[in-house]
Amino acid sequence: MINTEKLQEIIKVYKQQFEEIWKEEKYKWEAVWHFQKHWDIHAEDFGAMFQLATEKTLNLLVSNNFYPRGMMLDFIKVDVEAVRGMFINLYDESKGLEERVEAFQQEAERLRSTYGDEIWGSHYQNTNTISIYLWLRFPEKYYIYKYSECVKVANELESDFIPKRNGSARCMIEAYGLYDEICRQLQQDSEIKEMLCKAIDANCYVDTQLKTMTTDIGFFISRSYAQQVEENTKDWFPKDYNPGLSVEEWVELLNDPDIFTMSSLEIMKRMKDYGCMATCAQLAAKYGKSATFYNSVSSALAKRIAKKTGCSLLTKDNENSKWWPILYVGRKADKGCKGIYIWKLREELDKALDEVDLAKISLYADEEGDKIEKNYWWLNASPKVWSFSDISIGEVQSYTLYNDNGNKRRIFQNFLDAKEGDMVIGYESNPVKQIVAIARVAQENDGENLYFEKVEELTTPIDYIALKACPELEKMEYFVNAQGSLFKLTKDEYDFIMDVIRESNPSMESDNPVESYGKRDFLNEVYMPE
């Protein structure tokens, strides 16, 4: 038995975060669909078939020092018919499951010791791997079992069953009983069924029994939910500062349109919907707009509040952290979390929001009626040809669509796809190798040139090596192949880079903005050649 009330609380949080979760976990449903489409136990080239059928499993069958898929391909090379027999037996539903799992492991060990005892230290075909094979073949019946995740799920749900770390088939089968209890609760939830139905596309397995959804809920409990619970016990900054505003004062401010503008109220509603704490990147990913929007609008709102109320300010830290603590407490985001810094609504503001009607405020950016689809780009500038530092903020730089030989620039389509208003990360290549500016597309191509406007110069440039090491950017077009000038960024990649930039280059908002002053301004004043 499990604590079903606790499970319902978890399911509620899961549904709130489903859109973001789906982006990361959709591949599981795609993996099943792909396997079902390509699996053929009687294939003449069994090795090629197995490799194709399992190619969408990604980290499920290979991660860090765990290589079950690669080992199975090695086994196929030395004795293909033995491996074919292993799967025929494993997938024979007329036999007992425990018997099939143990036979699979025994045969894997025989192949390892016979053909590569000194080379292959492990066959990697443990109960986690075998559960994945079973799930891929019979997704309407089986779940993915992993001890480290299952034990956390059992403890979180106060289950009578707690798995043992013995790697046995019996323990895996008993764990299926735990997941069956979770699945029955999900099957009664019409909302989660509808969410999944809308999310699934033609390349996904239609999970009518919600077995794969159950597996994903288990993963969420063991990783994300446990982490979120832990967050509530961690220290938040600043400890010794409070603006001193009561719930009643916050309510009055919330009802003042000169203080809480439409954009400000949108952020408040989205923070509440997300669970009252989130990074700018998380809000951007779920509700739309950019991470910079949530950062800059929050800072501007805090300044208006300070001016209106005369509340105390945090003065012992830098200019950037003087404003947001009026609205939030914060801390560094954990590794693997989308974004760099987590904000949490102040308790008084949180309570005040419960007393204000936000029904007419847009939850999602695409409800606002004025959402403009933007593209995001990475632009290389070669210092040997031109430099971002040579142009002033607000100055427009043209970039030819063809090189000096009259040939189209590499990834020519990017130059055609760039639209006015698109945001651009300004990078200088060798020998600088740093992001030095932020720009936007000032004008679409006219057949010969594309035009960029420099909108910000970074006081602290970002080194290439600092970004190259980030797993969030490993598939970035520029990092995959650096040959070219203009590279496409996904919105998540752009937001991640902007978060890194903002960590060292706080957004400079001021009632008295500093006039831009660049290299050309300097040279005009000193009456000396460069």
pLDDT at 369 over 70: no
Task: Tell me if residue 316 falls in helix, strand or coil.
Answer: coil
The mean of the pLDDT values for the chain is: 88
513 bridge partner residues: none
pLDDT, tens digit, 9 for 90 and up, residues 303-357:
899 999 999 998 765 555 788 899 999 988 877 678 888 999 999 999 999 899 9
C-alpha to C-alpha distances, 208 to 33, 140, 211, 298, 322, nearest whole angstrom = 13, 8, 8, 42, 51
Q: Looking at 12-21, 49-58, 332-341, which range is the least confident one?
A: 332-341
Quick one: pLDDT at residue 60? 95
Q: Does residue 292 carry a pLDDT above 80?
A: no
- 6 three-state secondary structure: helix
Q: What is the mean pLDDT of residues 153-159?
A: 93
pLDDT of 373 reads 67
Measured on CA atoms in the order 304, 305, 306, 310, is the torsion positive or negative? positive
The residue type found at 118 is E
Preceding amide of 325 cis, omega within 30: no
Return the closest-CA partner of residue 375 out of 409, 421, 410, 412: 421
What does the pLDDT read at residue 497? 94
Report whether pLDDT(377) > 70: yes
pLDDT, tens digit (0-9, with 9 covering 90-100), for 459-484: 999 999 999 989 889 899 999 998 88
- Going through 373-496 in order, the beta strands assigned E by DSSP cover 376-381, 396-400, 423-428, 434-443, 449-463, 486-489
- What pLDDT was estimated at residue 366? 67
SS (H, E, C) 103-156: HHHHHHHHHHHHHHCCCCCCCCCCHHHHHHHHHHHCCCCCCCCCHHHHHHHHHH
Domains in the chain and their CATH numbers?
4-230 (no CATH), 247-367 (1.10.10), 376-526 (3.10.590.10)
pLDDT at 511: 37
Confidence tier at 206 by pLDDT (50, 70, 90): very high
More confident residue, 503 or 190: 190
Whether residue 359 is predicted with pLDDT greater than 80 in this model: the reply is yes
Between strands 423-428 and 376-381, the pairing is parallel
Q: What pLDDT sits at residue 520?
A: 64
Report the largest interatomic distance among the alpha carbons of the chain, rounded to a whole angstrom: 91
Q: What is the pLDDT of residue 274?
A: 85
> Among candidates 234, 238, 235, which has minimal Cα distance to 317?
238
Cα–Cα distance measured from residue 441 to residue 518, given in angstroms and rounded to the nearest whole number:
20
The pLDDT assigned to 517 comes to: 61
Task: Write down the pLDDT at residue 213.
Answer: 97
Three-class secondary structure of residue 299 per DSSP:
helix
User: Which percentage of the chain shows pLDDT scores above 70?
Assistant: 91
489-504 in b/e form (b: 16+ CB < 10 A) is bebbbbbbbbbbbbee
Q: Using pLDDT thresholds of 50, 70 and 90, give the confidence band for residue 409.
A: confident
Q: In what order do the strands lie in the sheet with 396-400?
A: 396-400, 449-463, 434-443, 423-428, 376-381, 486-489
Q: Are strands 328-332 and 277-279 parallel, antiparallel or unpaired?
A: unpaired
pLDDT tens per residue, range 2-12: 999 999 999 99
pLDDT of residue 512: 39
Instruction: Report the C-alpha gap between 470 and 497 in whole angstroms.
Output: 10
| Token pair of 316 as six digits | 């012992």
Q: Where are the alpha helices (DSSP H) in 205-316?
A: 211-220, 226-231, 247-254, 262-274, 280-287, 291-309
Q: CA of 467: how far to CAs of 285, 431, 509, in Å?
A: 20, 17, 26
pLDDT confidence band for 523 (50 / 70 / 90): low
Strands 449-463, 376-381: pairing kind: unpaired
**Triad 514, 313, 310: Cα angle to 5°:** 95
Q: Would you place residue 514 in the very low, low, confident or very high pLDDT band (cuts 50, 70, 90)?
A: very low
Per cent of the chain over pLDDT 90 is 59
Nearest residue to 166 (alpha-carbon basis) of 100, 105, 89? 105
Q: Is the pLDDT of residue 275 over 70?
A: yes
Q: What is the mean pLDDT of residues 69-98?
A: 97
Give the helix/strand (H/E) hosting 331.
strand 328-332
| 242 class by beta-carbon count within 10 Å (0-12 exposed, 13-18 middle, 19+ buried) | middle
SS3 of residue 452 by DSSP: strand
Q: What is the pLDDT of residue 509?
A: 44
How many whole angstroms separate alpha carbon 410 and alpha carbon 379? 12
Out of 61-75, 130-144, 161-175, give the one with best mean pLDDT. 130-144
Q: How far apart are CA 10 and CA 221, in angstroms?
A: 7
> Residue 510's pLDDT band (boundaries 50, 70, 90)?
very low
Q: How far apart are CA 144 and CA 131, in angstroms?
A: 5
User: Is pLDDT above 50 for 450?
Assistant: yes
Q: What residues are paired with 399 via a beta bridge?
A: 450
Dihedral sign from CA coordinates of 217, 221, 222, 228: positive
